[in-house]
Amino acid sequence: MVSPILSQLNRPDGSAAYKCPATGYNILGAVNGPVELPARRDALKPEEATVEVFVKPGTTTAGVAERYVEGILRSVLGKVVLGREKGFPRRGVIITLAIAGGENMDRGDSYLTILPSLLHAALLSMISASVPLSMTFSAALFGVTKTGDIVRDPSPTAAKASVSLHVFAISSKGHLLLNESEGRFDFDTWELVHQRALSVCQGTASADGDVTMGEGAASASLHGLIREAVEDQIYSDYAYKLDSI
């Protein structure tokens, strides 16, 4: 699995590049914050930070679908950012996500396939920008095929063929932060996918007691992957200190 790269860009406060190996989406995230937003003074909240998300599609101009996904991201990220920390109220945290690689989105396409990558890129950029967060999270996409199999991270074509698509974001503490499901399914199927999402994100023991390691031995869980990426970055950032010891 390609590890995400943090703090690659020079100008923004924080940035991250996240490439989803299965779907091929390559997202570049940048975060600036806290910054003054003089143009939107009346929209600013008096006691907390304003989180703004901007999604920039790779080969088109942003349209209604981007407004929608921005809304979802804003509501998830806005809840995770500790916007009442000192220096943050009445300021903005601006998150810009550019779809730098991967298939194009057509009008009316479901945005679910790209949502986990966008969430990861946004989270890592915020960590890179040292925005205080109450928790981290990880997200995964699942497709349920006609035969009832649950496929993790289906490719865009497989996603189109599946009966239902589910995106889950699970916080580092096990909360269900986000769920977006569409297609045709019943609640029991959803619950199965939910359990699978918990194990993929957290790497916890599944029902029969086995730790699910099937997703790749190096990073047993998505949380682990996120953590490793951040640890690697810290290690390289503080390399000068480590050398001098």
CB of 4 to other proteins, least distance (A): 15
Contact positions with other proteins (CB under 8 A) in 207-236: none
Q: Which is nearer to other proteins, 202 or 233 (CB)?
A: 202
Distance of closest approach, residue 20 Cβ to other proteins, in angstroms: 13
β-strands 50-56, 92-101 pairing: parallel
Closest CB to other proteins among residues 104, 235: 104
Q: For residue 163, give both structure tokens.
A: 């009966």
Residue 41 or 184: the one with the smaller Cβ distance to other proteins is 184
Interacting positions 97-156 with other proteins (CB under 8 A): 98, 100-101, 104, 106-111, 132, 134-135
Ramachandran region, residue 79 (left: φ > 0; alpha: ψ -120 to 50; beta: rest): alpha
Q: Counting Cβ atoms within 10 Å, is residue 95 exposed (0-12), middle (13-18) or buried (19+)?
A: buried
Q: Which amino acid is at 108?
A: G
**Which residues lie below 8 Å from residue 109, measured CB to CB, with a gap of 6+?**
65
**Mask: binding to other proteins, 171-210, rule CB under 8 A, as x and -?**
x-xxxxxxxxxxxxxxx--xx--x----------------
For the bound state, the minimum distance from the C-beta of residue 245 to other proteins, rounded and expressed in Å, comes to 31
Please say whether the beta carbons of 100 and 17 come within 8 A: yes
Least Cβ distance, residue 140 to other proteins (angstroms): 15
Site for other proteins in 69-108 (CB under 8 A): 70-72, 75-76, 78-79, 82, 84-85, 94, 96, 98, 100-101, 104, 106-108
* Residue with smaller CB distance to other proteins, 120 or 194: 194
Provide the minimum distance between the beta carbon of 170 and other proteins in the complex, in angstroms, as a whole number. 9
Contact between residue 221 and residue 201 where contact means Cβ atoms under 8 Å apart: yes
198 to 86, 92, 130, 171, 172: CA distances (angstroms): 33, 32, 27, 10, 10
Fill in the per-residue mask, 14 to 53: x = in contact with other proteins (CB under 8 A), - = not in contact.
-x--------x-x-x-x-x--x---x-------xx---x-
Based on CB atoms, which residue is closest to other proteins, 48 or 228? Answer: 48
Q: What's the CA gap between 17 and 170, in Å, rounded? A: 21
Cβ-Cβ contacts under 8 Å for 244 (sequence gap 6 or more): none
Q: Does 9 bind other proteins (CB under 8 A)?
A: yes
